[in-house]
Amino acid sequence: MANRKEKTFRFIIVGGGIAGVTCVEQLSSQIPSADVALITASPHIKTVTNYRQVSKTLEEFDVEEQPSSVLEEKFPNLTVIHSAVQSLHTRSHSLETTDGRVFGYEKLCICGGGRPKLLTQENPYVLGIRDTDSAQELQKRLSKAKRIVVVGNGGIALELVYEVEGCEVIWAVKDKAIGNTFFDAGAAQFLIPSLEADKPEKDAPCKRPRYTTEEPAPGGSHTFTADRNARRQGSSSTEAGSALGPDWHEGIVLQGSEQGTRRVSLEYQCEVEKIFTSEELLDSPPQTLGHENVGLASLHQTDQRATGVVPNTEPFLHGNNFALADDGGLQVDDHMMTSEPDVYAAGDVCTACWEHSPMWQQMRLWTQARQMGWYAGRCMAAHVLSEPIELDFCFELFSHITKFFNYKVVLLGKFNGQGLGSDHELLVRCTKGLEYVKVVLSGGRMMDLTPYGEELLNPNIDIEDYFD
Ligand code: FAD
Protein backbone atom coordinates (compact mmCIF):
# COMPACT_ATOMS: atom_id res chain seq x y z
CA MET A 1 0.00 0.00 0.00
CA ALA A 2 2.74 2.45 1.01
CA ASN A 3 4.36 2.12 -2.43
CA ARG A 4 1.16 2.94 -4.28
CA LYS A 5 0.81 6.37 -2.64
CA GLU A 6 0.00 8.96 -5.29
CA LYS A 7 1.00 11.78 -2.98
CA THR A 8 1.58 12.38 0.71
CA PHE A 9 -0.04 15.44 2.23
CA ARG A 10 0.88 17.01 5.52
CA PHE A 11 -2.80 17.19 6.44
CA ILE A 12 -5.75 15.29 5.05
CA ILE A 13 -9.28 16.14 6.11
CA VAL A 14 -12.10 13.78 5.14
CA GLY A 15 -15.57 15.31 4.72
CA GLY A 16 -16.84 18.49 3.09
CA GLY A 17 -19.46 19.25 5.75
CA ILE A 18 -19.20 22.07 8.25
CA ALA A 19 -16.69 20.25 10.51
CA GLY A 20 -14.31 19.31 7.67
CA VAL A 21 -14.43 22.66 5.90
CA THR A 22 -13.91 24.64 9.11
CA CYS A 23 -10.95 22.41 9.96
CA VAL A 24 -9.43 23.02 6.50
CA GLU A 25 -9.93 26.78 6.82
CA GLN A 26 -8.33 26.87 10.24
CA LEU A 27 -5.32 24.77 9.25
CA SER A 28 -4.77 26.60 5.97
CA SER A 29 -4.88 30.01 7.67
CA GLN A 30 -2.63 28.93 10.51
CA ILE A 31 0.00 27.18 8.36
CA PRO A 32 -0.46 28.61 4.83
CA SER A 33 2.58 26.74 3.50
CA ALA A 34 1.25 23.29 4.47
CA ASP A 35 -0.02 20.89 1.85
CA VAL A 36 -3.66 20.23 2.76
CA ALA A 37 -6.09 17.86 1.04
CA LEU A 38 -9.84 17.75 1.54
CA ILE A 39 -11.34 14.43 0.45
CA THR A 40 -15.09 14.55 0.18
CA ALA A 41 -17.77 12.30 -1.20
CA SER A 42 -20.18 15.17 -1.87
CA PRO A 43 -19.87 17.45 -4.91
CA HIS A 44 -20.40 20.61 -2.84
CA ILE A 45 -18.85 21.80 0.35
CA LYS A 46 -20.51 23.57 3.27
CA THR A 47 -19.16 26.88 4.46
CA VAL A 48 -20.09 29.11 7.37
CA THR A 49 -21.23 32.60 6.39
CA ASN A 50 -22.56 35.63 8.28
CA TYR A 51 -20.89 34.45 11.47
CA ARG A 52 -22.03 36.50 14.47
CA GLN A 53 -20.62 36.10 17.96
CA VAL A 54 -23.68 36.89 20.10
CA SER A 55 -21.84 36.49 23.39
CA LYS A 56 -18.68 34.76 24.52
CA THR A 57 -20.09 31.29 23.86
CA LEU A 58 -23.25 31.99 21.87
CA GLU A 59 -22.94 32.22 18.11
CA GLU A 60 -25.21 32.49 15.10
CA PHE A 61 -24.33 31.78 11.49
CA ASP A 62 -25.68 30.68 8.15
CA VAL A 63 -24.44 27.74 6.19
CA GLU A 64 -23.94 27.88 2.44
CA GLU A 65 -23.40 25.14 -0.06
CA GLN A 66 -20.60 26.15 -2.40
CA PRO A 67 -18.50 24.61 -5.14
CA SER A 68 -15.19 23.45 -3.73
CA SER A 69 -13.30 25.72 -6.16
CA VAL A 70 -14.22 28.62 -3.85
CA LEU A 71 -12.12 27.06 -1.12
CA GLU A 72 -9.24 26.19 -3.46
CA GLU A 73 -9.12 29.77 -4.73
CA LYS A 74 -8.91 31.05 -1.18
CA PHE A 75 -6.20 28.60 -0.11
CA PRO A 76 -3.67 27.91 -2.89
CA ASN A 77 -2.09 25.01 -0.99
CA LEU A 78 -5.38 23.15 -0.74
CA THR A 79 -6.31 20.25 -3.05
CA VAL A 80 -9.91 19.06 -3.03
CA ILE A 81 -10.37 15.42 -4.01
CA HIS A 82 -13.91 14.43 -4.92
CA SER A 83 -14.11 10.79 -3.98
CA ALA A 84 -15.08 8.73 -0.97
CA VAL A 85 -12.59 7.12 1.35
CA GLN A 86 -12.92 3.37 1.04
CA SER A 87 -10.29 2.23 3.51
CA LEU A 88 -7.82 3.63 5.98
CA HIS A 89 -4.49 2.14 6.98
CA THR A 90 -3.36 3.95 10.07
CA ARG A 91 -0.12 1.96 10.33
CA SER A 92 1.12 3.12 6.91
CA HIS A 93 -0.56 6.55 7.34
CA SER A 94 -2.45 6.14 4.07
CA LEU A 95 -5.98 5.88 2.77
CA GLU A 96 -7.60 4.62 -0.39
CA THR A 97 -10.47 6.25 -2.22
CA THR A 98 -13.26 4.50 -4.15
CA ASP A 99 -11.67 5.57 -7.45
CA GLY A 100 -8.61 3.48 -6.53
CA ARG A 101 -6.18 6.24 -5.54
CA VAL A 102 -3.97 6.04 -2.46
CA PHE A 103 -2.89 9.10 -0.48
CA GLY A 104 -0.46 9.38 2.40
CA TYR A 105 -0.87 11.78 5.34
CA GLU A 106 1.13 13.08 8.22
CA LYS A 107 -2.00 14.02 10.19
CA LEU A 108 -5.57 13.07 9.33
CA CYS A 109 -8.90 14.44 10.52
CA ILE A 110 -12.05 12.38 9.94
CA CYS A 111 -15.17 14.55 9.56
CA GLY A 112 -17.45 12.05 7.80
CA GLY A 113 -20.65 13.15 9.59
CA GLY A 114 -23.49 10.75 10.27
CA ARG A 115 -26.48 9.20 8.56
CA PRO A 116 -30.05 9.01 9.84
CA LYS A 117 -31.21 5.97 11.72
CA LEU A 118 -33.89 4.69 9.39
CA LEU A 119 -36.82 2.61 10.55
CA THR A 120 -36.25 0.37 7.57
CA GLN A 121 -34.12 0.49 4.45
CA GLU A 122 -36.42 -1.59 2.29
CA ASN A 123 -39.82 0.13 2.29
CA PRO A 124 -40.20 2.48 -0.69
CA TYR A 125 -42.61 4.62 1.36
CA VAL A 126 -40.09 5.31 4.10
CA LEU A 127 -37.80 8.26 3.59
CA GLY A 128 -35.08 9.58 5.89
CA ILE A 129 -34.05 13.22 5.58
CA ARG A 130 -30.41 14.12 5.71
CA ASP A 131 -29.15 15.94 2.65
CA THR A 132 -30.31 18.02 -0.32
CA ASP A 133 -31.24 14.94 -2.34
CA SER A 134 -33.42 13.43 0.35
CA ALA A 135 -35.13 16.77 1.04
CA GLN A 136 -35.94 17.13 -2.67
CA GLU A 137 -37.16 13.55 -2.79
CA LEU A 138 -39.48 14.44 0.08
CA GLN A 139 -40.82 17.43 -1.89
CA LYS A 140 -41.51 15.19 -4.88
CA ARG A 141 -43.29 12.50 -2.89
CA LEU A 142 -45.16 15.01 -0.76
CA SER A 143 -46.70 16.64 -3.83
CA LYS A 144 -48.69 13.43 -4.38
CA ALA A 145 -49.45 12.68 -0.74
CA LYS A 146 -52.71 13.09 1.15
CA ARG A 147 -51.37 11.89 4.45
CA ILE A 148 -47.92 11.37 5.86
CA VAL A 149 -46.66 9.91 9.10
CA VAL A 150 -43.76 11.69 10.70
CA VAL A 151 -41.81 9.54 13.12
CA GLY A 152 -39.32 11.28 15.36
CA ASN A 153 -39.17 13.97 17.99
CA GLY A 154 -35.99 15.87 17.16
CA GLY A 155 -35.46 19.28 15.56
CA ILE A 156 -36.13 18.15 12.00
CA ALA A 157 -39.45 16.54 12.88
CA LEU A 158 -40.47 19.75 14.68
CA GLU A 159 -39.67 21.84 11.63
CA LEU A 160 -41.31 19.45 9.22
CA VAL A 161 -44.68 19.21 10.95
CA TYR A 162 -44.77 23.00 11.16
CA GLU A 163 -43.86 23.56 7.52
CA VAL A 164 -45.91 20.90 5.66
CA GLU A 165 -49.18 22.15 4.18
CA GLY A 166 -51.94 20.61 2.06
CA CYS A 167 -51.56 17.19 3.60
CA GLU A 168 -52.66 15.46 6.77
CA VAL A 169 -49.75 14.86 9.12
CA ILE A 170 -49.78 12.17 11.76
CA TRP A 171 -46.90 12.85 14.09
CA ALA A 172 -45.76 9.84 16.09
CA VAL A 173 -43.55 10.73 19.05
CA LYS A 174 -42.39 8.13 21.52
CA ASP A 175 -42.32 10.57 24.42
CA LYS A 176 -45.05 12.19 26.49
CA ALA A 177 -44.38 15.61 24.91
CA ILE A 178 -43.07 17.00 21.64
CA GLY A 179 -39.47 18.11 21.20
CA ASN A 180 -38.10 16.64 24.39
CA THR A 181 -34.56 16.57 22.94
CA PHE A 182 -34.65 20.33 23.21
CA PHE A 183 -37.17 21.35 25.81
CA ASP A 184 -39.53 20.23 28.56
CA ALA A 185 -43.24 19.41 28.52
CA GLY A 186 -44.13 22.98 29.60
CA ALA A 187 -42.38 24.52 26.63
CA ALA A 188 -44.04 21.90 24.41
CA GLN A 189 -47.46 23.06 25.64
CA PHE A 190 -46.45 26.64 24.92
CA LEU A 191 -45.59 25.74 21.32
CA ILE A 192 -48.49 23.44 20.45
CA PRO A 193 -51.05 26.23 19.70
CA SER A 194 -48.73 27.35 16.86
CA LEU A 195 -49.52 24.10 15.08
CA GLU A 196 -53.18 25.07 14.97
CA ALA A 197 -52.69 28.74 14.10
CA ASP A 198 -51.92 30.10 10.64
CA LYS A 199 -48.27 30.64 9.95
CA PRO A 200 -47.12 34.27 10.04
CA GLU A 201 -46.22 35.89 6.71
CA LYS A 202 -42.83 34.69 5.56
CA ASP A 203 -39.87 37.04 5.66
CA ALA A 204 -38.40 38.08 2.35
CA PRO A 205 -37.23 35.00 0.50
CA CYS A 206 -33.73 33.88 1.38
CA LYS A 207 -31.34 35.06 -1.31
CA ARG A 208 -28.64 32.60 -0.41
CA PRO A 209 -27.70 30.60 -3.49
CA ARG A 210 -27.62 26.85 -3.45
CA TYR A 211 -25.43 25.10 -5.96
CA THR A 212 -26.44 22.23 -8.13
CA THR A 213 -24.20 19.89 -10.03
CA GLU A 214 -24.77 18.91 -13.55
CA GLU A 215 -23.42 15.77 -15.12
CA PRO A 216 -19.95 16.67 -16.37
CA ALA A 217 -19.59 16.81 -20.11
CA PRO A 218 -17.44 13.98 -21.42
CA GLY A 219 -13.89 14.82 -20.44
CA GLY A 220 -15.10 18.01 -18.78
CA SER A 221 -15.47 19.09 -15.18
CA HIS A 222 -18.54 19.64 -13.02
CA THR A 223 -20.45 22.83 -13.70
CA PHE A 224 -22.08 24.52 -10.79
CA THR A 225 -25.31 26.45 -11.17
CA ALA A 226 -26.42 28.91 -8.52
CA ASP A 227 -30.08 28.05 -8.60
CA ARG A 228 -31.64 27.47 -5.25
CA ASN A 229 -34.72 25.78 -6.65
CA ALA A 230 -33.12 23.62 -9.26
CA ARG A 231 -33.05 19.89 -8.77
CA ARG A 232 -29.67 18.42 -8.28
CA GLN A 233 -28.51 16.16 -10.99
CA GLY A 234 -25.51 13.97 -11.46
CA SER A 235 -25.23 12.82 -7.88
CA SER A 236 -26.59 9.46 -6.92
CA SER A 237 -28.96 9.31 -3.98
CA THR A 238 -26.74 6.73 -2.32
CA GLU A 239 -23.84 9.13 -2.24
CA ALA A 240 -22.95 10.33 1.25
CA GLY A 241 -24.03 13.97 1.17
CA SER A 242 -23.48 16.57 3.88
CA ALA A 243 -26.19 17.11 6.44
CA LEU A 244 -28.56 19.94 5.57
CA GLY A 245 -28.47 23.37 7.09
CA PRO A 246 -30.78 25.13 9.51
CA ASP A 247 -32.83 26.53 6.63
CA TRP A 248 -33.03 23.16 4.88
CA HIS A 249 -36.69 23.63 3.96
CA GLU A 250 -36.18 27.10 2.44
CA GLY A 251 -36.62 26.81 -1.30
CA ILE A 252 -38.30 23.43 -0.97
CA VAL A 253 -42.07 23.37 -1.38
CA LEU A 254 -43.45 21.26 1.43
CA GLN A 255 -46.92 21.09 -0.08
CA GLY A 256 -49.09 17.97 -0.18
CA SER A 257 -51.58 17.10 -2.90
CA GLU A 258 -54.45 19.02 -1.32
CA GLN A 259 -55.32 22.65 -0.71
CA GLY A 260 -55.51 24.16 2.73
CA THR A 261 -53.16 24.63 5.60
CA ARG A 262 -51.73 22.35 8.24
CA ARG A 263 -53.60 19.44 9.80
CA VAL A 264 -51.52 17.73 12.42
CA SER A 265 -52.64 14.93 14.73
CA LEU A 266 -50.28 13.96 17.50
CA GLU A 267 -49.79 10.40 18.71
CA TYR A 268 -47.85 10.48 21.97
CA GLN A 269 -45.88 7.58 23.44
CA CYS A 270 -46.11 5.85 20.13
CA GLU A 271 -43.32 3.69 18.79
CA VAL A 272 -43.30 2.11 15.36
CA GLU A 273 -43.42 -1.66 15.65
CA LYS A 274 -44.10 -2.68 12.09
CA ILE A 275 -44.62 -0.95 8.78
CA PHE A 276 -47.37 -2.47 6.69
CA THR A 277 -47.67 -2.61 2.93
CA SER A 278 -51.04 -1.51 1.43
CA GLU A 279 -52.07 -5.18 1.13
CA GLU A 280 -51.14 -6.00 4.70
CA LEU A 281 -52.99 -2.92 5.85
CA LEU A 282 -56.32 -4.34 4.67
CA ASP A 283 -55.97 -7.20 7.18
CA SER A 284 -54.46 -5.07 9.93
CA PRO A 285 -56.01 -4.44 13.36
CA PRO A 286 -58.17 -1.30 13.65
CA GLN A 287 -55.73 0.70 15.81
CA THR A 288 -53.10 0.68 13.07
CA LEU A 289 -52.17 4.12 11.70
CA GLY A 290 -53.03 3.85 8.02
CA HIS A 291 -51.17 5.49 5.16
CA GLU A 292 -53.30 4.73 2.14
CA ASN A 293 -51.12 4.90 -0.89
CA VAL A 294 -49.32 7.93 0.39
CA GLY A 295 -45.76 8.83 1.18
CA LEU A 296 -44.53 7.87 4.60
CA ALA A 297 -41.84 10.17 5.83
CA SER A 298 -39.64 8.74 8.51
CA LEU A 299 -37.29 11.05 10.28
CA HIS A 300 -34.51 10.63 12.73
CA GLN A 301 -35.69 8.48 15.58
CA THR A 302 -34.35 9.89 18.77
CA ASP A 303 -33.48 8.08 21.93
CA GLN A 304 -32.14 9.30 25.24
CA ARG A 305 -28.52 9.35 24.11
CA ALA A 306 -28.41 10.07 20.44
CA THR A 307 -30.05 12.73 18.31
CA GLY A 308 -30.87 10.22 15.64
CA VAL A 309 -27.77 9.84 13.53
CA VAL A 310 -25.38 6.95 13.21
CA PRO A 311 -21.78 8.22 12.91
CA ASN A 312 -20.29 7.40 9.49
CA THR A 313 -17.32 5.43 10.79
CA GLU A 314 -17.61 2.31 8.69
CA PRO A 315 -14.98 2.93 5.95
CA PHE A 316 -12.37 3.87 8.56
CA LEU A 317 -12.60 0.94 10.95
CA HIS A 318 -11.43 -2.19 9.14
CA GLY A 319 -7.91 -3.22 10.10
CA ASN A 320 -7.53 -0.34 12.57
CA ASN A 321 -7.96 -0.07 16.29
CA PHE A 322 -10.32 2.84 16.92
CA ALA A 323 -12.00 3.11 20.32
CA LEU A 324 -15.74 3.61 19.68
CA ALA A 325 -18.23 5.21 22.05
CA ASP A 326 -21.59 3.62 22.95
CA ASP A 327 -23.33 5.78 20.32
CA GLY A 328 -20.97 4.43 17.64
CA GLY A 329 -18.88 7.61 17.34
CA LEU A 330 -15.07 7.70 17.15
CA GLN A 331 -13.92 8.50 20.66
CA VAL A 332 -11.91 11.73 20.79
CA ASP A 333 -9.93 13.22 23.67
CA ASP A 334 -9.62 16.88 24.64
CA HIS A 335 -7.32 17.43 21.62
CA MET A 336 -9.85 15.88 19.20
CA MET A 337 -7.53 12.89 18.83
CA THR A 338 -8.88 9.42 18.28
CA SER A 339 -7.20 6.36 19.75
CA GLU A 340 -5.14 5.93 16.55
CA PRO A 341 -1.91 7.95 16.27
CA ASP A 342 -2.11 11.13 14.15
CA VAL A 343 -5.83 10.62 13.49
CA TYR A 344 -8.22 13.31 14.70
CA ALA A 345 -12.01 13.48 14.28
CA ALA A 346 -14.62 16.25 14.50
CA GLY A 347 -18.36 16.81 14.05
CA ASP A 348 -21.15 14.22 13.93
CA VAL A 349 -18.72 11.33 13.37
CA CYS A 350 -17.04 11.68 16.75
CA THR A 351 -17.99 11.39 20.40
CA ALA A 352 -16.39 13.80 22.86
CA CYS A 353 -14.89 11.53 25.51
CA TRP A 354 -12.98 14.00 27.63
CA GLU A 355 -14.31 14.89 31.07
CA HIS A 356 -17.03 17.38 30.17
CA SER A 357 -17.51 20.67 31.91
CA PRO A 358 -20.65 20.43 34.13
CA MET A 359 -22.43 22.89 31.81
CA TRP A 360 -21.62 21.25 28.46
CA GLN A 361 -22.97 18.25 26.62
CA GLN A 362 -22.44 16.99 23.11
CA MET A 363 -25.35 17.34 20.70
CA ARG A 364 -24.91 16.65 17.01
CA LEU A 365 -25.62 20.18 15.78
CA TRP A 366 -24.17 22.76 13.40
CA THR A 367 -22.69 24.81 16.17
CA GLN A 368 -20.71 21.94 17.58
CA ALA A 369 -19.61 20.68 14.14
CA ARG A 370 -18.13 24.14 13.51
CA GLN A 371 -16.54 24.42 16.94
CA MET A 372 -15.05 20.93 16.78
CA GLY A 373 -13.72 21.39 13.24
CA TRP A 374 -12.13 24.70 14.19
CA TYR A 375 -10.61 23.31 17.38
CA ALA A 376 -9.38 20.12 15.64
CA GLY A 377 -7.61 22.34 13.08
CA ARG A 378 -5.99 24.33 15.87
CA CYS A 379 -4.88 21.17 17.68
CA MET A 380 -3.39 19.65 14.50
CA ALA A 381 -1.47 22.85 13.81
CA ALA A 382 -0.32 23.13 17.44
CA HIS A 383 0.93 19.54 17.42
CA VAL A 384 3.04 19.90 14.26
CA LEU A 385 4.38 23.23 15.53
CA SER A 386 5.03 21.69 18.99
CA GLU A 387 2.92 24.37 20.64
CA PRO A 388 0.80 23.78 23.75
CA ILE A 389 -2.98 23.94 23.41
CA GLU A 390 -5.82 23.80 25.93
CA LEU A 391 -9.45 22.79 25.53
CA ASP A 392 -11.27 25.76 24.05
CA PHE A 393 -13.69 27.88 26.06
CA CYS A 394 -16.57 27.00 23.72
CA PHE A 395 -16.69 23.56 25.38
CA GLU A 396 -17.31 25.11 28.80
CA LEU A 397 -20.94 26.01 28.27
CA PHE A 398 -23.44 24.38 25.94
CA SER A 399 -25.11 27.07 23.85
CA HIS A 400 -27.36 26.87 20.84
CA ILE A 401 -29.68 29.27 19.05
CA THR A 402 -32.41 27.90 16.84
CA LYS A 403 -36.02 28.48 15.79
CA PHE A 404 -38.99 26.25 16.48
CA PHE A 405 -42.47 27.08 15.19
CA ASN A 406 -41.16 30.53 14.35
CA TYR A 407 -40.06 31.25 17.94
CA LYS A 408 -36.43 32.05 18.58
CA VAL A 409 -35.06 29.43 20.97
CA VAL A 410 -31.91 29.97 23.03
CA LEU A 411 -30.54 26.99 24.93
CA LEU A 412 -27.78 27.31 27.50
CA GLY A 413 -25.99 24.83 29.74
CA LYS A 414 -28.03 21.91 31.09
CA PHE A 415 -31.20 23.54 29.76
CA ASN A 416 -33.27 20.43 30.45
CA GLY A 417 -31.64 19.67 33.78
CA GLN A 418 -29.71 16.86 32.02
CA GLY A 419 -27.89 14.72 34.56
CA LEU A 420 -28.49 17.16 37.42
CA GLY A 421 -30.24 14.63 39.70
CA SER A 422 -33.05 15.71 42.03
CA ASP A 423 -31.35 18.77 43.50
CA HIS A 424 -32.62 21.23 40.97
CA GLU A 425 -35.47 23.66 40.73
CA LEU A 426 -37.12 25.23 37.72
CA LEU A 427 -38.26 28.84 37.45
CA VAL A 428 -40.53 29.51 34.51
CA ARG A 429 -41.95 32.71 33.03
CA CYS A 430 -44.51 32.09 30.36
CA THR A 431 -46.62 34.60 28.43
CA LYS A 432 -48.95 32.73 26.12
CA GLY A 433 -48.04 33.23 22.49
CA LEU A 434 -45.11 35.47 23.36
CA GLU A 435 -42.36 33.99 25.49
CA TYR A 436 -41.32 30.96 27.51
CA VAL A 437 -38.31 31.53 29.77
CA LYS A 438 -36.96 28.77 31.95
CA VAL A 439 -34.13 28.91 34.43
CA VAL A 440 -32.68 25.75 35.96
CA LEU A 441 -31.39 26.23 39.50
CA SER A 442 -28.99 23.58 40.71
CA GLY A 443 -28.32 23.69 44.46
CA GLY A 444 -30.02 27.10 44.47
CA ARG A 445 -27.69 28.57 41.82
CA MET A 446 -28.51 29.33 38.21
CA MET A 447 -25.22 28.33 36.69
CA ASP A 448 -21.58 28.37 37.51
CA LEU A 449 -20.39 31.70 36.22
CA THR A 450 -16.73 31.03 37.02
CA PRO A 451 -15.82 30.41 33.36
CA TYR A 452 -16.89 33.98 32.56
CA GLY A 453 -14.37 35.41 35.02
CA GLU A 454 -13.73 39.07 34.31
CA GLU A 455 -15.88 38.86 31.20
CA LEU A 456 -18.89 39.19 33.50
CA LEU A 457 -18.03 42.86 33.79
CA ASN A 458 -17.33 43.24 30.09
CA PRO A 459 -19.82 45.84 28.85
CA ASN A 460 -20.06 44.02 25.50
CA ILE A 461 -21.50 40.92 27.16
CA ASP A 462 -25.09 41.32 28.15
CA ILE A 463 -26.54 38.36 30.02
CA GLU A 464 -30.00 39.64 29.13
CA ASP A 465 -29.16 39.08 25.46
CA TYR A 466 -29.61 35.38 26.09
CA PHE A 467 -33.29 35.88 26.71
CA ASP A 468 -34.06 38.39 23.98
P1 FAD B 1 -21.89 16.42 7.54
O2 FAD B 1 -22.44 17.77 7.32
O3 FAD B 1 -22.82 15.26 7.48
O4 FAD B 1 -20.73 16.21 6.49
C5 FAD B 1 -20.10 14.97 6.32
C6 FAD B 1 -19.24 15.04 5.06
O7 FAD B 1 -18.46 13.86 4.97
C8 FAD B 1 -20.04 15.12 3.76
O9 FAD B 1 -19.43 16.06 2.92
C10 FAD B 1 -19.93 13.71 3.18
O11 FAD B 1 -20.01 13.73 1.78
C12 FAD B 1 -18.54 13.35 3.65
N13 FAD B 1 -18.26 11.90 3.75
C14 FAD B 1 -18.96 10.96 4.43
N15 FAD B 1 -18.36 9.76 4.30
C16 FAD B 1 -17.26 9.96 3.54
C17 FAD B 1 -16.23 9.11 3.03
N18 FAD B 1 -16.19 7.81 3.30
N19 FAD B 1 -15.27 9.65 2.24
C20 FAD B 1 -15.29 10.98 1.94
N21 FAD B 1 -16.23 11.83 2.39
C22 FAD B 1 -17.20 11.33 3.19
N23 FAD B 1 -28.13 21.31 13.30
C24 FAD B 1 -28.36 22.50 13.86
O25 FAD B 1 -27.56 22.95 14.65
N26 FAD B 1 -29.47 23.23 13.56
C27 FAD B 1 -30.38 22.79 12.67
O28 FAD B 1 -31.37 23.48 12.42
C29 FAD B 1 -30.16 21.54 12.04
N30 FAD B 1 -31.03 21.10 11.12
C31 FAD B 1 -30.75 19.93 10.50
C32 FAD B 1 -31.64 19.51 9.51
C33 FAD B 1 -31.43 18.32 8.86
C34 FAD B 1 -32.41 17.87 7.81
C35 FAD B 1 -30.31 17.51 9.21
C36 FAD B 1 -30.08 16.21 8.53
C37 FAD B 1 -29.43 17.92 10.19
C38 FAD B 1 -29.64 19.13 10.84
N39 FAD B 1 -28.77 19.58 11.83
C40 FAD B 1 -29.00 20.80 12.41
C41 FAD B 1 -27.57 18.80 12.24
C42 FAD B 1 -26.35 19.32 11.49
O43 FAD B 1 -26.64 19.41 10.12
C44 FAD B 1 -25.15 18.38 11.70
O45 FAD B 1 -24.88 18.25 13.07
C46 FAD B 1 -23.89 18.94 11.03
O47 FAD B 1 -24.13 19.23 9.68
C48 FAD B 1 -22.74 17.93 11.10
O49 FAD B 1 -21.66 18.39 10.32
P50 FAD B 1 -20.50 17.41 9.91
O51 FAD B 1 -19.52 18.25 9.15
O52 FAD B 1 -20.01 16.66 11.09
O53 FAD B 1 -21.17 16.30 8.96
Alpha carbon separation from 268 to 88, 174, 177, 265, 309 (Å, rounded): 44, 6, 7, 10, 22
Q: pLDDT tens digits, residue range 254-303?
A: 888 888 777 888 888 887 777 777 777 777 655 555 443 334 443 333 33
pLDDT at position 1: 56
Half-sphere exposure of 251 (CA within 13 A, CB side): 21
Amino acid 241 reads G
Tell me how far apart the alpha carbons of residues 280 and 258 are, in angstroms, rounded to a whole number: 26
C-alpha 42 – ligand 1 centre gap (Å): 11
Residue nearest to ligand 1 atom 12, measured at CA: 15
Distance of alpha carbon 206 from alpha carbon 403, whole angstroms: 16
Distance 424 CA to ligand 1 centre (A): 34
Residue 402: its pLDDT value, please? 83
Q: Is 20 in the pocket of ligand 1 (CB under 6 A)?
A: yes
Domains of the chain and any CATH numbers: 2-115+309-395 (3.50.50.60), 116-206+247-297 (3.50.50.60), 401-467 (no CATH)
- Nearest ligand 1 atom, CA 113: 53
- Measured from the Cβ of residue 403, the count of other Cβ atoms closer than 10 Å reads 14
Which of ligand 1's atoms lies nearest the C-alpha of 246?
Answer: 28
Nearest CA among 193, 179, 236 for reference residue 402: 179
pLDDT at 389 exceeding the cut of 90:
yes
Q: What is the mean pLDDT of residues 117-127?
A: 76
- pLDDT of the residue at 95: 97
Residue 434's closest CA among 407, 411, 409, 412? 407
pLDDT at 127 over 70: yes
Q: Decide if 349 contacts 330 (C-beta within 8 A).
A: yes
Question: Is the pLDDT confidence value at 449 over 70?
Answer: no
- Name the closest-CA residue to atom 39, ligand 1: 365
Structure confidence by residue, pLDDT tens digits, 394-435: 998 898 888 888 888 888 888 877 777 777 777 888 888 888
Average pLDDT across the chain, whole number: 79
Segment among 38-52, 277-291, 357-371, 454-468 with least mean pLDDT: 454-468
Which pLDDT band holds residue 461 (cuts at 50, 70, 90)? Answer: low
- Ligand 1 touching residue 367 (CB < 6 A): yes
155 lines ligand 1 (CB under 6 A): yes
Which ligand 1 atom sits nearest the alpha carbon of residue 85? 19
For ligand 1, mutation pick of 83, 118, 156 (most atoms within 8 Å of CB): 156
| Residue 381 beta carbon below 6 angstroms from any ligand 1 atom | no
Pick from 59-68, 213-222, 341-350, 397-406 the range whose average pLDDT is largest: 341-350
81 lines ligand 1 (CB under 6 A): no
Q: What is the pLDDT of residue 417?
A: 77
Q: Measuring from atom 8 of ligand 1, which residue has the nearest CA?
A: 242
Q: How far apart are CA 238 and CA 256, in angstroms?
A: 25
Phi-psi region for residue 323, left (φ > 0), alpha (ψ -120 to 50) or beta? beta
Write out the H or E segment, with its range, that includes residue 96: strand 94-97
CA 149 / ligand 1 centre spacing (Å): 24
The SS3 call for residue 143 is coil
Q: How far is the CA of 164 from the centre of ligand 1 (A)?
A: 23
In the predicted model, is pLDDT for residue 152 greater than 80? yes
Q: What is the mean pLDDT of residues 37-59?
A: 85
Pairwise pLDDT comparison (208 vs 444), residue with the higher score = 444
Parallel/antiparallel/unpaired status of strands 223-226 and 126-127: unpaired
pLDDT of residue 214: 38
What distance in Å separates the CA atoms of residue 250 and residue 255, rounded to the nearest whole number?
13
Atom nearest to 39 CA in ligand 1 = 20
Ligand 1 atom at shortest distance from the alpha carbon of 86: 18
**pLDDT at position 296:** 42
Please give the Cα distance from 256 to 295 (Å, whole number): 10
464-467, long-range: CB within 8 Å, 24+ apart, which pairs?
465/54, 465/55, 465/58, 466/55, 466/58, 466/410, 466/412, 467/410, 467/437
Cα(182) to centroid of ligand 1, in Å? Answer: 19
Residue percentage of the chain with pLDDT more than 90? 34
* 66, 109, 242, best to mutate for ligand 1 pocket (most atoms within 8 Å of CB): 242
Strand partners, 116: 309
Kindly report which listed range (42-46, 227-231, 464-468) carries the lowest average pLDDT score.
227-231
